[in-house]
Amino acid sequence: PITYDIKTDFLYKKGKAEGKAEGIEEGMERKSRIVVARGYEKGLSLEEIAELADMPVEWVIAVIREIETEK
């Protein structure tokens, strides 16, 4: 029988690395959303929230709209 260790395959390693990077990116966005929600609850300005979240004001506005529709 022929055996093949998939873990040594180039495409497997590439896919695993891409998946890891995507997961990190999603986690960072989730953290930014939490920062926006907390800043909004505390009454911070859009500019202050954007600076804390390290995101554009337009993105902050979109997240706040999502928060408002969830209520």
Whether 71 has a pLDDT exceeding 80, the answer reads no
pLDDT digits (tens, 9 = 90+) for 2-42: 888 888 898 999 999 999 999 999 999 999 999 999 999 99
Whether 49 has a pLDDT exceeding 80, the answer reads yes
Give alpha helix (H) positions in 1-71: 10-41, 46-53, 57-70
**pTM of the prediction?**
0.73
pLDDT at 37: 97
Residues 53, 36 contacting (CB under 8 angstroms): yes
